[in-house]
Amino acid sequence: MIETNEDNLTLSNPDQIRDALTPVEEWATITPEVRVHPVPAGHAPGAAGFVLQAEDGSQSHHLLATGDFTTRAVAGYPGLPTDFPVDIDVVFLTAASAPDSTANLTDAIETVRERAHAGSTVLTTASGLTGVHLGYVLSHLNDQSGRSIPVTTVGRTATLWESFGYEHPTVETVPEFSDPNEVLDAGQITVAGPEVPVDGSAGRLFDRIDDDPGATLVQVTSGAFNPETGEHTRGTVYDYQVSNHPTNETIDEVVGALDPIHVVVAHQRGSSADRYKDKYDSFVWTCEDDDKHTLYDDEWVGPPWVTEATRRRIRARQYTNNSSTLKDSLDASEIPLPVVERSENRDLVAEGIDVERLTMRQDTTGDGSDSDQRTDIVEPTTEAVSGDQSSDEHSAMDAETVLEMNERLARIEDAIKGRSIQARVIDAGDGITLLRPLEDSVGSNRSHGDVIEITLSE
């Protein structure tokens, strides 16, 4: 990776190279007989697959190259569609798969929010595009949950965030920084890359917090690198593997919905590729060579290893498809395909986030405001209860309980001397719990090792 980066540093006139590129957003003509159209692919913000349209006389055939994909939305961008206005005859299937990691994603989001809310300095490391996704989810959870936690994106994550045009009042972008203290603070979440803090922005920031027992490192990794274990750091270290690829079941569902004549499996080798042979009601190609293979020559051509009965069965599925009907009624350029465009409608559930669990967690822990710390006086109740216990017995029990509670509250009030302040509880790990006063003035005249008297109020 480092050698590749060094090679890229020798490129001259990168701005001119970018200016020479033409983005493909809708139908683009490659040759008079072949056109291409990008379609959403999930997997990462802005990820795209491509539909190719090839003309054969009066017939149009359509090929889908999925690229890495999921059917889930990502950072507002939709997942790979399976319902097209044309029939997909060939799928070039990038079959890189992974177990469903949406639970890990929710766990990571929950951890960074809870640790920041507890007053910890939270560094979250991820790849650039995953960092953008995390920033998007965290910012909109700020809107939905009512608990607003500042988010700072750093380095390449910040650059990508700005390039995509994301904006949110709780997210600050810092593409470059000279002092790690500029982008780290207690009670906020800092997102930087790479996914393991061995170099880059993440490495510099981790060096800054590794001696802080109240700091937290949360690594969101793809599984390609070994995460930091925290063996040599005083802070708390977490890692969550989030590989945003489809499950094997999702791949099967996509192929079943598209029902193509050919399935060409990519990014799989050996036994991982062989398991797709004869799996679908299609010609399945799992070639690992550099030879040229013919898919269509006046008719669909199957792999050399399939039986003649299989050829006849699949060829029987050649039909006058939707593309022919559309071509009769529409100009070819008007065939409406899904576009790679971010939706204004935020749907974190569609992105695999367990929003209900996160909001239920907040309802349990509160948001740290005065209203959450208030203990109301409970009045006795005379409501009936189920079972053998009578209403009178239940009321007497409640009255006794309320009396005890009120006496306890009175003792607490008598114990409180002087002014009352709030402090965050910080779990520093290894059995160490810290209290961080929310008022800066409390510690202004104190030195390390000072002993003070405090009163705890629950």
Q: Which domains does the chain have, with CATH numbers?
A: 20-98+246-334 (3.60.15), 102-241 (3.40.50.10890), 370-443 (no CATH)
More confident residue, 458 or 157: 157
Most confident region among 351-355, 372-376, 386-390, 391-395 by mean pLDDT? 351-355
Tens of pLDDT along 6-24? 455 566 677 788 788 888 8
Residue 420: which pLDDT band, with cuts at 50, 70 and 90? low
Query: What pLDDT does residue 413 have?
Result: 56
Closest CA to 122 of 111, 137, 107: 111
What residues pair up with 36 in beta bridges, in sequence order? 28, 52
Most confident region among 164-168, 225-229, 270-274 by mean pLDDT? 164-168
Query: What pLDDT does residue 381 have?
Result: 35
More confident residue, 47 or 458: 47
Query: What pLDDT does residue 71 have?
Result: 96
Q: In this structure, what token pair is assigned to residue 8?
A: 């890229």
> What's the mean pLDDT in 141-150?
89
Query: 417 pLDDT exceeds 90?
Result: no
* Number of residues that this document lists for the chain: 458
Query: 327 pLDDT exceeds 60?
Result: no
Residue 435: which pLDDT band, with cuts at 50, 70 and 90? confident
Place of tokens 């800066």: 440
CB-CB contact of 173 with 196 (8 Å): no
Most confident region among 132-141, 380-389, 405-414 by mean pLDDT? 132-141
Instruction: At 142, give phi and psi (nearest 5°).
Output: -60, -40
Closest CA to 76 of 358, 348, 337, 359: 348
Query: What pLDDT does residue 438 have?
Result: 65
Q: In this structure, what token pair is assigned to residue 429?
A: 């790990």
As a whole-number percent, the residues of the chain with pLDDT over 70 amount to 74
**Residues contacting residue 298 through CB under 8 Å, at least 6 positions apart:** none
Query: What pLDDT does residue 309 have?
Result: 82
Q: In this structure, what token pair is assigned to residue 211?
A: 């001696």
- CA angle, residues 12, 13, 19, in degrees to nearest 5: 145
DSSP state of 226: P
What residues pair up with 93 in beta bridges, in sequence order? 265
Separation in Å, CA 366 to CA 146, 214, 362, 363, 435: 10, 21, 5, 5, 18
Query: 131 pLDDT exceeds 60?
Result: yes
Query: What pLDDT does residue 440 have?
Result: 59
**Lowest mean pLDDT: which of 201-215, 282-296, 329-343?**
329-343
Residue 200: which pLDDT band, with cuts at 50, 70 and 90? very high
Query: What pLDDT does residue 368 have?
Result: 44
Query: What pLDDT does residue 164 have?
Result: 96
Q: In this structure, what token pair is assigned to residue 442?
A: 């409390």
pTM exceeds cut of 0.85: no
The rounded distance, in Å, linking the Cα atoms of 380 and 429 is 42
Q: What is the mean pLDDT of the chain?
A: 81
CB-CB contact of 190 with 201 (8 Å): no
Closest CA to 281 of 317, 248, 236, 325: 317
CB-CB contact of 416 with 454 (8 Å): no
Strand boundaries in 292-363, DSSP class E: none
Query: What pLDDT does residue 366 have?
Result: 52
Query: What pLDDT does residue 411 have?
Result: 54
More confident residue, 270 or 454: 270
Query: 352 pLDDT exceeds 70?
Result: yes
Query: What pLDDT does residue 42 have?
Result: 96
